[in-house]
Amino acid sequence: MTNASAIVTEALRKEYGRNVAVADLTLNVPRGEIFGFLGPNGAGKSTSVKMLLGLVQATSGQAQVLGTRPGTPTTMRQIGFLPEHFRFPEWLQAGELLDLHGRLAGLDRATRRRRSAEVLELVGLSEQRTRPLSGFSKGMLQRIGLAQALLAQPALVFLDEPSSALDPFGRMLVREIIRTLKKQGTTVFLNSHLLGEVEATCDRVAFIKQGRVLHTMPLDASNTTQLVVELRVGDASPALLTMLEQFTGNAVRIQPPNIATIPTNGTTTLELLLADPAQLPTLAHHVIAHGAHLYALTPRRTSLEERFLEIVGNTDSGQ
Amino acid sequence: MQIVATLTWLTFHEARRRRMVVAALLLGGLFVGLYWLGLQAIVNELNTNDVSFLVRQGAYNFLVVAALYVVHFLTVMLSIFASVDAISGEIATHTIHTIATRPIRRWQIVLGKWLGYVLMVTLYLVLLCGGIFAVSWLAAGYLPPNPITAVGLLILEAIVLLSLSLLLGTQFSTLTNGVVLFMLYGLAFVGAWVEQIGAFLQSSAAIRIGIISSLLMPVESLWRRAAYLMQPPLANAVPTPFTSASLPSTAMVVYAIGYALLALLLALRVFGRRDL
């Protein structure tokens, strides 16, 4: 376990009686990374976050957050948290809530005042400082929750579904805030169902199902993730298909499914996976060399949603 | 300590914002005011009739103890209602998540709340009992014996209930907590009467039942001791709802202090270990 890691876990497990909420969480999140934590409902995402925050005691396994045990005051001094259920004492005014959290975080009066104003401005609630939270909409409560999480300038921020109650403006704001946090070197642990949000902000994602990390992968643009290539060809032959499968090393999806039934002047749509965009010209060359007519060759990056369904499985857990 | 003080302040602030303070002060003022009017009317009545000093003192004493009985009842209600939701409510609504993830220890949350409620109820009891004693002194020139000890015992009642309520709140839902507290109080209330009647009938089994119920919830015994201490020896010899045939001993007071302390310490410990 190195100090360069913000979060390190080893076979972290949580059981509630017979029910296993998290089976085996093994993670390593380097400092400064924007880390996406993806999985279907009931996969154990929130329980994992709660274990990393010391809200829930792990049944077994190891965890280190910012180099120490989760949940200790020393660790928590450097952590910000926006919970999935963002509820606050509604009889407090927005400014009072931030002042309370500033006090609990050990900030002095001047810092509390300055930071409260800054984070209220950041989430667009400056005008609402003296308004009681009882009059806040769900979206506004999520914004004030975000402000509360960032108040003490944490080194590590846990955001559990930070945009669940936000309108498109709010969602854009969250993305912008996450990007700013990245520039400042803050580590962000993002639980989100909004795969677009994850795709737009995260450096790396982990897919979790039934409390196990199934796969982690980097998301940065320079990384050559698999490419889906859609080909529309005329006069496709079974030989072309064999060639394509050998070339890509993967099965090729065909539409219509039976190549023998295609009329000679009809077109076939083929979908295949390429490991590297550099293979694209050779692919085109092979298609033409096989005597097929190439109408279209459309490469597209695999969307996170497709990867999600591929890795996690596309059966809805119903939870 | 600053964290505990912040959370204590928060409890006060909540009571103020939710208008609990205004409501309690207004109604408390109304109660003392009505008591004043009633007492004044009785004083005037007794003055016009030629009533002996002893009877007069007996009547005043009965009235003060009766008023304090209402305060005792209010103490029970107030302590339970104010605190029953304090921990379990915050767990149920998840409000606790952002508080508990600050650089603080969990026990500080419980201690801060406990101090807040104890101070609040103590302040209220001092004001209310002080008001009753002042009215009695001003209207009738009468003060019962041991007024300060009596108020102290009422405060101890509140502390016992608040500590137990916070302890139960760390484990049970608000509703369960409330049901358990009221059932325990009901048990102690009935047990106290069983003990009294048993003492008159010299039934040791009945007395034992009463003592066991007091051990489970010592609040009613504290009240009976307070009532006993506020009555002159002669009045205690005459059976009224406030006299005790079987007087709770100082050991029961020590037990109640230990009970409250243990409940508080358990609450601090249990809340520190539970999953939120």
pLDDT at A222: 44
A315 occurs within a structural domain: no
**Strands A212-218 and A60-65, how do they pair?**
unpaired
A308 belongs to a structural domain: no
Residue A213 shares a structural domain with residue A238: no
Residues of A within 8 A of B100 (CB-CB) are 55
Write out chain A in H/E/C secondary structure. CCCCEEEEEEEEEEEECCEEEEEEEEEEEECCCEEEEECCCCCCHHHHHHHHCCCCCCCEEEEEECCECCCCHHHHCCEEEECCCCCCCCCCEHHHHHHHHHHHCCCCHHHHHHHHHHHHHHCCCHHHCCCEHHHCCHHHHHHHHHHHHHCCCCCEEEEECCCCCCCHHHHHHHHHHHHHHHHCCCEEEEECCCHHHHHHHCCEEEEEECCEEEEEEECCCCCCCCEEEEEEEECCCHHHHHHHHHHHCCCCEEECCCHHHCCCCCEEEEEEEECCHHHHHHHHHHHHHCCCEEEEEEEEECCHHHHHHHHHCCCCCCC
Residue B229 identity (one-letter amino acid): L
> CA B185, CA B72: separation in Å to the nearest integer?
12
- Enumerate residues 215 to 274 of chain B having a beta carbon within 8 A of any beta carbon in chain A: 273
Per CB-CB distance under 8 Å, the chain A contacts of B2 are 103
Residues A138 and A61 in one domain: yes
Strands of the sheet containing A293-301, edge to edge, are A253-255, A267-274, A227-234, A293-301
**pLDDT of amino acid A1:** 45
A316: in domain: no
Give the pLDDT score at A239. 83
Q: Which residues of B touch A46 (CB under 8 A)?
A: none
Does residue A64 share a domain with residue A212? yes
A→B contacts (Cβ < 8 Å), by residue, are 50, 53-57, 73-77, 79, 81, 83, 85-89, 91-92, 96, 100-101, 103-106, 145, 148
Distance between CA A259 and CA A235 in Å, rounded? 10
Both A233 and A289 in a single domain? yes
For chain A, the domain total comes to 2
Euclidean distance between CA atoms B14 and B9, whole angstroms: 9
Of A91, A101, A103, nearest to B98 by CB-CB distance is A101
Q: Which residues of B touch A162 (CB under 8 A)?
A: none
Q: Which residues of B touch A103 (CB under 8 A)?
A: 2-3, 6
A280 and A172 assigned to the same domain: no
Give me the long-range contacts of B56-61 (CB less than 8 A, separation at least 24).
B57/B142, B57/B232, B58/B234, B58/B235, B60/B136, B60/B140, B60/B142, B61/B142, B61/B144, B61/B230, B61/B231, B61/B232, B61/B235
State residue A298 phi and psi, 5-degree precision: -115, 105
Instruction: Give A-chain residues touching B104 at CB under 8 angstroms.
Output: 73, 76, 104
Phi first, then psi, for residue A129 (nearest 5°) are: -55, -40
Do both A102 and A11 map to the same domain?
yes
The predicted structure's pLDDT at residue A224: 46
As for the ipTM of the complex, it is 0.87
* Interface contact B5, partner A, CB < 8 A: no
| Same domain (yes/no): A248, A296 | yes
> Chain B: nearest CA to A125, how far in angstroms?
19
Q: What is the pLDDT of residue A136?
A: 94
Alpha-carbon torsion (A18, A83, A176, A178), positive or negative: negative
Q: Domain locations in chain B?
A: 2-273
Residues of chain A with pLDDT under 70: 1-2, 220-226, 256-265, 301-303, 314-319
Say whether both A196 and A246 belong to one domain.
Answer: no
Same domain (yes/no): A236, A287 = yes
What separation in angstroms does the CA of A290 have from each of A1, A213, A219, A283? 54, 43, 35, 11
- For residue B78, the distance in angstroms to the closest alpha carbon of chain A comes to 20
Among A152, A186, A218, which residue terminates a domain? A218
Residue B23 tokens read as 């409501």
User: Is A313 within the bounds of a domain?
Assistant: no
Mode of pairing for the β-strands spanning A227-234 and A253-255? unpaired
Q: Is residue A245 part of a domain?
A: yes
pLDDT digits (tens, 9 = 90+) for A241-250: 888 888 887 7
- DSSP lists the bridge partners of residue A206 as A37, A216
For residue A79, tell me if it sits in a domain: yes
What is the distance in angstroms between the CA of the first residue and the CA of the last residue of chain B? 23
Cβ contacts (< 8 Å) between A73 and chain B: which residues? 103-105
- Residue A176 located in a structural domain: yes
The CB density around residue B170, as the number of other CB atoms within 10 Å, is 22
Residue of A nearest to B105 (CA): A73
Asked if residue A288 is part of any domain, the answer here is yes
- Collapsing DSSP to helix, strand or coil, B52 comes out as coil
What's residue A57's pLDDT? 94
- B275 and A91: CB-CB below 8 Å? no
For residues A64 and A29, what is the distance between their CA atoms, to the nearest angstrom?
11
- CB–CB contact A56 B101 (8 Å): no
A154, A189, A218 - which closes a domain = A218
Query: Are residues B101 and A145, on separate chains, in Cβ contact within 8 Å?
Result: no
Instruction: Give one DSSP letter per residue of B143-199, joined into a string.
Output: --SSHHHHHHHHHHHHHHHHHHHHHHHTTS-HHHHHHHHHHHHHHHHHHHHHHHHHH
Q: Which of A186, A218, A250 is the last residue of a domain?
A: A218
Q: Identify the pLDDT of residue A299.
A: 81
Considering CB atoms only, which of A57, A74, A104 is closest to B275?
A: A57
Positions of chain B with pLDDT lower than 70, given as ranges: 234-246
Question: Do A171 and A202 share a domain, yes or no?
Answer: yes
Task: Please tell me the predicted confidence (pLDDT) of residue A314.
Answer: 63
Contact of A86 with A145, CB cutoff 8 Å: yes
CA atoms of A205 and A218, how far apart (whole Å)? 6
- Residue A74 sits in a domain of what CATH number? 3.40.50.300
Domain span holding position A262: 227-301
Same domain? A194 vs A238 = no
pLDDT of residue B189: 92
Identify the pLDDT of residue A319.
56
Nearest to A105 among B93, B103, B276 (CB): B103
Q: Which residues of chain B have a CB within 8 Å of the CB of A53? A: 101
> How many Å lie between the alpha carbon of B16 and the closest alpha carbon of chain A?
10
- A220 exposure class (CB count in 10 Å sphere: 0-12, 13-18, 19+): exposed
Do A132 and A233 have their domain in common? no
